[in-house]
C-alpha cells in the first residue's frame, strides 16, 4: 500500500511498553510532553483492551503519534498511527468539501432548496436549503431515530434510507430556526453528489480529495464486507461480565455522507494540513467551511457554550483559543479532533472502544502542548471539584420531595427520580445515584450536578449542569395506572411515515411494545397519558370523546412523529 510523504517525521521504530508485552510504533519524538500525553492514555496501554490512536500535529507535520491498546484482541494486533478506524461523523467535513467543490464548479448552490436535487422530498423541503442541510439547522428528522421506530434495519443501500427520509411528513422545526444535530441532510448530500456527477461519494472523494492529498489509507466504506488492511475492530464493554464484545457496523454504505470514512491519524494529518495549505478546494471553500452559520434571527447556530456549527465543523473557542473541531461515534468507534488555527496545532484521537471518551482525551492532550497559552481550564476544575466533593448527610425526609418525573419538552426528554432506602437515584436501565453534597447541590454519576428549585415543599424544577450545558426539567404529574387502566392503551398503532405498526400488548400487568412481531420492551407509564421506553418519550392523544386515538413520539432528534390507532 502506498504511503505519502507529506509529513517529515522520525519513526523511532518500536518501544517496549512496561505495562504491556508488545511493541508499539511511534512517529515523532518522545519528549517530556509526549510522555505526559502517554499518561493520558495509560488505562488503554495494555494487551487486553481496545484503545486509541493519537495524532499531535504542528505546522503541517506530525509532532507525535502512537497507539494505545489493541486494534484486534482476537489477533493480538496493537493500535498504531497507521491503524485504520471508522471516524463516524468526523466524515461530515469531507462530504462538505465535496459539495462545496461542486458549488465552485457551478453544479449547485448552497442556497438552492433540497427539492431542486431530490424532487421526491415532501413540499416542506422547498424551505430547506443545502446550506441548512449541511449546518444542522435544517429541521430534518434524523434518519437513524426514524429507522429505530420502524423496527427494521437497513438493507445496506441508500434506497432504504431515502425511502424513510422522503416519507417524513414534517420537519422538527421551521428550517433555520435553531440548531439540532441530524444526520439526514448529509445522506441527502451524498445522493446529490451521485446525481450530479454519476459517481458515488466514495469515488468522488477518493479522486478529488484523498488521493490528491496523499491519503491512500482513507476511504468511505461502501461495503462492510470489505477487508481493510490494518483495519481496527470496534469494541464495547460486555454487559454484566468482564471483557469486551465486537461492536461492528452492518450498513456503512447506507450512511455514506453522514459517516463511513475510515482513516488513520497519520492520513488525517494530511487533511488537517489542507486547512492551511488549501491544496484541495481552495481558500474560499476553507473559509466557508469554517464560518459559523447564522440562524433566521441572525444569531450563530450555537452547538455548545462556546461553539457554533459551520459547514461540517464546529467553530469557536477552547480555553480562550480559537478552535475548529468535530466528534464522531459509530458502532464500536469514537473519535474527536481539535484544530487551533492560530497556533497551527491540532490533536486527533481515534478510538475503537465505545467508552473511550475521545473528546476529553483530546482536550487533555491539547492542554499539555498549549496550556501555557490557554486560559485556566475552568470546566475541568469545576468537574474535578464536583466529583471529589464529599457526600453530605441529608435526612431521608428531605429527599422524598425530590422524587418525581421531570420533563424537558423542547428536547423531548424525561428523567425520573426515585428513592430506595436513603438513596436518591435516576430510574432507568442503569440506576445512577444522586448524591447530596450540601447547599442544595447533588452529584449524579460523574461530571453532572443537579439542583432542585421552586416554591413550596416540593420543587417544581430540576436543573442538570455538566461542563457543556445546563438543562432545566419541569416536574410532571406522576402516573401509576393499574393494569386495568393500562389495558385501555393496548392496541395497534400505525405510522405511514416509518411504514410500521406498533402493537401495544398487556403482558403480566405491563404494557409491552411489539414491532414487526419483535418484542422491544416495556412501555413505562410515567405521567398522565405519557410513557417512556429507553430514551423515547411517548405522548398519547385522545379524540373528542376521550378515547385513545394515537400517540406522538418525541425522541430528541425526531419530534412529533405520529402514530394513529388502527385497532
520 and 448 co-located in one domain: no
Q: Is residue 455 a part of any domain in this protein?
A: yes
Q: Is residue 43 a part of any domain in this protein?
A: no
Average pLDDT, integer, range 236-259:
86
pLDDT in tens, 512-565: 999 988 899 999 999 999 999 877 899 999 999 999 999 999 988 999 999 999
469 CB neighbour count, 10 Å cutoff = 9
Instruction: Give the closest residue to 100 by CA, choosing from 312, 249, 324.
Output: 312
Task: Check whether 132 has a pLDDT greater than 70.
Answer: yes
450 and 472 co-located in one domain: yes
427 and 506 co-located in one domain: no
Q: Is residue 495 a part of any domain in this protein?
A: yes
DSSP reduced 3-state for 525:
strand
Q: Is residue 329 a part of any domain in this protein?
A: no
- pLDDT at residue 556, as a whole number: 86
Cell 522520525 appears where?
A: 10
Which ranges of 223-373 does DSSP label H, i.e. alpha helix?
265-277, 283-289, 358-370
Contact 358, 68 (CB under 8 A): no
Average pLDDT, integer, range 194-199:
97
- pLDDT at residue 373, as a whole number: 97
311 Cβ partners below 8 Å, 6+ apart?
96, 100, 110, 131, 134, 135, 288, 289, 291, 293
> Considering 421, 453, 476, which residue would you say is the last residue of a domain?
476
pLDDT in tens, 104-128: 999 999 999 999 999 999 999 999 9
- pLDDT at residue 3, as a whole number: 37
**CA gap 81, 188 in Å, rounded:** 32
408 and 456 co-located in one domain: yes
434 and 487 co-located in one domain: no
- pLDDT at residue 23, as a whole number: 59
> Considering 447, 476, 505, which residue would you say is the last residue of a domain?
476
Name the DSSP letter for residue 54.
E
- pLDDT at residue 362, as a whole number: 98
Average pLDDT, integer, range 467-472:
91
Q: Is residue 161 a part of any domain in this protein?
A: no
pLDDT in tens, 493-514: 999 999 999 999 999 999 999 9
Structural domains of the chain, count: 2
- pLDDT at residue 468, as a whole number: 84
456 and 498 co-located in one domain: no
491 and 553 co-located in one domain: yes
> Considering 449, 476, 503, which residue would you say is the last residue of a domain?
476
393 and 472 co-located in one domain: yes
Q: Is residue 449 a part of any domain in this protein?
A: yes
Taking all residues of the chain, what is their mean pLDDT, rounded to a whole number? 92
pLDDT in tens, 388-419: 999 999 999 999 999 999 999 888 888 999 99
Question: Which residues face 418 on adjacent strands?
Answer: 425
463 and 491 co-located in one domain: no
253 Cβ partners below 8 Å, 6+ apart?
156, 157, 158, 221, 222, 223, 224, 260
487 and 408 co-located in one domain: no
467 Cβ partners below 8 Å, 6+ apart?
379, 380, 382, 383, 447
491, HSE (Cβ side, Cα atoms, 13 Å): 17
Q: And the C-alpha cell for 174?
A: 421551521
Name the DSSP letter for residue 79.
P
- pLDDT at residue 410, as a whole number: 83
Contact 12, 251 (CB under 8 A): no
Q: Is residue 429 a part of any domain in this protein?
A: yes
CATH for 420: 2.40.128
Angle ∠(196,199,202) on CA atoms, nearest 5: 125
**CA gap 189, 162 in Å, rounded:** 11
Strands of the 500-507 sheet, one edge to the other: 518-522, 510-515, 500-507, 491-495, 561-565, 548-554, 536-542, 530-533, 524-527
pLDDT in tens, 36-68: 999 999 999 999 999 999 999 999 999 999 999
pLDDT in tens, 143-182: 989 988 988 766 556 777 898 999 999 999 999 999 999 9
CATH for 530: 2.40.128.50
418 CB neighbour count, 10 Å cutoff = 15
- pLDDT at residue 21, as a whole number: 39
Residue range(s) defining the domain that contains residue 466: 388-476
pLDDT-above-70 percentage for the chain:
94
CA 238 to chain centre: 21
Task: Check whether 378 has a pLDDT greater than 50.
Answer: yes
Task: Check whether 16 has a pLDDT greater than 80.
Answer: no
pLDDT in tens, 215-230: 999 999 987 778 899 9
Contact 255, 187 (CB under 8 A): yes
462 and 416 co-located in one domain: yes
**CA gap 222, 228 in Å, rounded:** 12
Q: Is residue 511 a part of any domain in this protein?
A: yes
Q: Which residues of 444-467 are buried (b: 16+ CB within 10 A; e: fewer)?
A: beebbbbbbeeeeeebeebebbbb
Average pLDDT, integer, range 453-460:
85
Instruction: Give the closest residue to 161 by CA, choosing from 254, 256, 251, 91.
Output: 254
536 and 458 co-located in one domain: no
Q: And the C-alpha cell for 546?
A: 376521550
Amino acid at each position: 500500500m502506498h504511503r505519502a510523504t507529506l509529513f517529515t517525521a522520525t519513526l523511532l521504530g518500536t518501544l517496549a511498553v512496561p505495562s504491556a508485552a508488545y511493541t508499539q510504533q511511534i512517529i515523532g519524538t518522545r519528549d517530556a510532553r509526549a510522555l505526559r500525553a502517554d499518561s493520558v492514555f495509560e488505562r488503554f496501554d495494555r494487551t487486553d483492551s481496545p484503545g486509541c490512536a493519537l495524532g499531535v500535529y504542528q505546522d503541517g507535520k506530525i509532532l507525535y503519534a502512537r497507539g494505545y491498546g489493541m486494534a484486534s484482541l482476537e489477533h493480538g494486533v496493537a493500535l498504531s498511527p497507521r491503524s485504520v478506524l471508522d471516524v463516524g461523523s468526523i466524515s461530515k467535513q469531507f462530504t462538505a468539501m465535496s459539495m462545496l467543490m461542486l458549488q465552485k464548479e457551478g453544479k449547485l448552490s448552497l442556497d438552492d432548496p433540497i427539492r431542486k436535487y431530490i424532487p421526491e422530498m415532501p413540499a416542506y423541503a422547498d424551505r430547506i436549503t443545502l446550506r441548512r442541510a449541511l449546518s444542522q439547522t435544517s429541521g430534518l428528522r434524523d434518519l437513524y431515530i426514524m429507522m429505530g421506530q420502524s423496527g427494521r434495519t437497513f438493507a445496506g443501500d441508500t434506497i432504504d434510507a431515502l425511502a424513510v427520509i422522503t416519507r417524513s411528513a414534517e420537519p422538527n422545526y421551521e428550517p433555520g430556526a435553531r440548531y439540532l444535530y441530524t444526520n439526514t441532510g448529509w445522506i441527502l448530500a451524498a445522493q446529490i453528489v451521485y446525481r450530479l456527477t454519476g459517481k458515488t461519494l466514495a469515488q468522488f472523494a477518493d479522486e478529488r480529495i484523498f488521493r490528491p492529498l496523499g491519503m491512500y489509507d482513507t476511504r468511505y466504506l461502501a461495503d462492510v464486507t470489505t477487508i481493510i488492511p490494518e483495519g481496527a475492530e470496534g469494541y464495547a464493554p460486555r454487559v454484566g461480565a468482564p471483557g469486551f464484545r465486537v461492536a461492528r457496523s452492518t450498513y456503512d454504505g447506507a450512511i455514506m455522507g453522514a459517516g463511513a470514512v475510515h482513516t488513520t491519524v497519520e492520513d488525517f494529518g494530511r487533511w488537517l494540513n489542507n486547512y492551511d495549505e488549501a491544496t484541495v478546494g481552495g481558500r474560499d471553500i476553507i473559509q466557508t467551511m469554517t464560518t459559523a452559520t447564522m440562524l433566521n434571527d441572525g444569531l450563530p447556530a450555537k452547538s455548545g457554550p462556546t461553539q457554533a456549527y459551520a459547514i461540517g465543523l464546529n467553530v469557536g473557542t477552547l480555553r480562550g483559543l480559537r478552535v475548529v473541531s468535530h466528534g464522531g461515534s459509530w458502532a464500536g468507534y469514537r473519535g474527536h479532533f481539535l484544530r487551533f488555527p492560530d497556533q497551527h496545532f491540532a490533536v486527533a484521537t481515534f478510538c475503537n472502544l465505545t467508552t473511550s471518551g475521545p473528546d476529553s482525551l483530546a482536550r487533555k492532550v491539547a492542554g499539555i502542548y498549549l496550556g501555557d497559552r490557554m486560559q485556566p481550564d475552568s470546566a475541568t476544575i469545576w468537574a474535578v471539584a464536583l466529583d471529589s466533593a464529599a457526600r453530605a448527610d441529608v435526612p431521608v425526609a428531605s429527599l422524598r420531595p425530590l422524587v418525581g418525573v421531570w420533563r424537558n419538552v423542547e428536547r423531548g426528554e424525561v428523567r425520573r427520580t426515585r428513592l430506595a432506602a436513603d438513596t436518591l437515584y435516576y430510574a432507568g436501565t442503569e440506576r445512577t445515584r444522586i448524591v447530596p453534597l450540601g447547599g442544595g447541590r447533588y452529584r449524579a454519576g460523574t461530571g453532572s450536578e443537579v439542583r432542585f428549585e421552586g416554591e413550596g415543599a416540593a420543587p417544581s424544577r430540576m436543573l442538570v449542569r455538566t461542563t457543556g450545558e445546563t438543562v432545566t426539567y419541569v416536574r410532571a404529574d406522576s402516573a401509576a395506572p393499574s393494569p386495568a387502566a393500562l389495558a385501555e392503551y393496548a392496541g395497534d398503532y400505525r405510522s405511514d411515515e416509518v411504514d410500521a405498526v406498533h402493537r401495544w400488548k398487556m403482558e403480566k400487568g405491563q404494557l409491552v411494545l411489539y414491532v414487526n412481531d419483535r418484542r422491544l420492551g416495556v412501555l413505562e407509564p410515567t405521567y398522565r397519558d405519557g410513557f417512556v421506553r429507553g430514551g423515547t418519550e411517548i405522548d398519547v392523544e385522545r379524540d373528542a370523546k376521550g378515547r385513545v386515538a394515537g400517540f406522538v413520539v418525541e425522541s430528541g432528534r425526531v419530534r412529533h412523529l405520529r402514530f394513529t390507532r388502527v385497532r
